[in-house]
Chains A and B, each alone.
Chain A
């Protein structure tokens, strides 16, 4: 009995878990191998450094990484002098005051100084309104925690950047997106039709009452005939998705329409270490950078974790024998 009950529970769990992805309006992300996954996973320093370059040259125009300080870059292999140079050469300054305590200069512009390593990396926009104004009303999210703020974050962002836009999506990905959208539209149509049938029945009753009232010379309001729901367009191309003009199709983005136009392309950034500047490489690198930015202490965590586990295993085995020894005279 107990076994069958547990089996039943497991079966329910499985069926419900497998159904989970079909419902949302996005394709399940492409799964890639990352150096940072698994219990021994570490950051690929070279990829993270290249990813920082991609961030600086492409993303930083719109997206902040406000939780990172320049000094953190030393953790991914930049030297102290390199970090100083990166900070000093950053496009955006840190607000400061002059000798008189003024924070605004004679032209009404904020007074700034060049960043130093202990500063957080400055955001491209001074505030949310400025950010929205510069981006058609859309707010480019901060990227510091992006990988942890999305389910299956690394694969999701990677898929979105490298394989999600109309030009970069594979045939299969597009097909899957269209299939999901068509299924959703079919279900929505079925639900609407059911509602329509109910409404129609109600309408018939009301209409009869109305006609009787009119025949009897009483005043009455004529009921409105419910509108039949339109049959949905079958999606066979990105155009059929019916996205608004300021939205870009992306197969991995919920609801298909993303405000950000494809940010990366082949050779978007020139690497100094000779790595081939493909779109996939750019996406891989920038996601490696973002993964590090989201949790810079990950390597410490895993390294300590391994030690703790080994220690606990030994201690627990010993405790088991202690327990057995202590209990050896109890029957």
Chain B
């Protein structure tokens, strides 16, 4: 399907800069997509839109924010109180970060469920993980900027993780801080990087979309596109569907933004940073909680590696392991719809991550059940962490080998089943 441009000026322009056909091939009538994509496929474009919202509100906030330990907190309150619609910009940006993670986490779990990471989409998947890592770094540094208690102590705790690195630990941490504690130099460099990284993110997102277009979207059946009868053009079908999804998402976002804008944050961050007083519970933002739980669940040394370093390794490994997932999963079938055992295990992983999130929010020594005081959150966290890694390292290969998948349909457009699977 090729694009017809009727307007003379646009034809003139297109001849000199073929941007219309570029768009048409990216998100227009010339981009064929599987015809059976479900609403779980909305979250990719949604993530892109949230990224734009974050960049625009972020640039606005930067016009009023002062990156100095003496003024940062007050400049944020100046935005909240005196700048025209400043409260809106600030709440949009702060809650937008949470929205970004909600959308991206759903996007990732969708990929896990329908096997979107499998051949030939491994590089697409890698780029997605890189996006997640950049997002995390950006969100972490952004949270430091208001210079509240949780900003300061969160920054202190997380940057201190690097002191676990053998030999060079202390040098690395001093290098990160630009001093001997989290202070003005740290705030300034975090501000600089927080402004830079989103644009790097945009670059990786473009690569992510590029890789997507090479082999097109996966689909709920997880089978390849066999021919034009299996596809429909992205525009108007998926633009319409994505816009409707955007509307639903904006309603959800607005409810939080306008009526409970502080529900996802920590109250301690409304207290100005005080390097001499540590809050009772240092808790990261909700989107980091599962990883924080993994970090804290390592309380034992292993061979020559001490617990602190091991915790840091475990935390990073919990994300980095996703890079090798395409090879840990040995199944030839993509979609969990046709993988009865994996389907169950997928939901167990989902619950495991939720539980790890709860554990991350609690004090480690707090008992899980008031009736059983010896079973503490740190114990639950250790079980959860163990299961998390067992899922990827043990279960994924084993299930792939031993599971008998259900028969796959012949093609997307023909619901006829193709004999008996394997």
Contact = CB atoms under 8 A, between A and B. Distances in A.
B270 A296 contact: no
B258 A309 contact: yes
A5 B351 contact: yes
Nearest to A325: B240
A16 interface: yes
B171 interface: no
Contacts of B232: 330
B369 A15 contact: yes
Interface in A291-331: 294-297, 300-302, 304-306, 308-309, 312-313, 315-316, 319-320, 322-323, 326-327, 330
A8 B267 contact: no
Contact of B87 (A22, A23, A301): A301
A323 B241 contact: yes
Nearest to B247: A316
Most chain B CB within a 10 A radius of its CB, from A20, A295, A326: A326
B254 A16 contact: no
Interface stretch (B180-188, B360-368, B396-404): B360-368
A166 to B, nearest CB: 24
A294 B268 CA distance: 14
B35 A145 contact: no
Interface string B69-96: 0000010010011000001100100000
Interface in B259-307: 259, 261-262, 267-268, 270-271, 280
A327 B259 CA distance: 35
A95 interface: no
Interface in A124-166: 144-145, 148-151, 153
B243 A319 contact: yes
B368 A301 contact: no
B154 to A, nearest CB: 16
Contact of B370 (A22, A300, A301, A327): A22
Contacts of A9: 351, 354-355
A19 B370 contact: yes
A148 B148 CA distance: 12
Contacts of B268: 149
B52 interface: no
B203 interface: no
Contact of B261 (A8, A294, A301): A301
B347 interface: yes
A5 B248 CA distance: 26
Contact of B267 (A149, A254, A323): A149
Contacts of B363: 23
A151 B88 CA distance: 22
Nearest to A146: B270
Interface string A52-78: 000000000000000100001000000
A323 B258 contact: no
A17 to B, nearest CB: 9
A5 B363 CA distance: 25
B248 A39 contact: no
B106 interface: no
Nearest to B74: A67
B244 A322 contact: yes
A11 to B, nearest CB: 11
A79 to B, nearest CB: 21
A302 B258 contact: yes
A209 B261 CA distance: 64
A296 B81 contact: yes
Contacts of A149: 267-268, 270-271
B257 interface: yes
A8 B81 contact: no
B251 A309 contact: yes
A305 B259 contact: yes
Which 4 residue pairs of A and B lie closest in terms of their CB atoms, listed nearest first? A305-B258, A316-B247, A149-B270, A326-B240
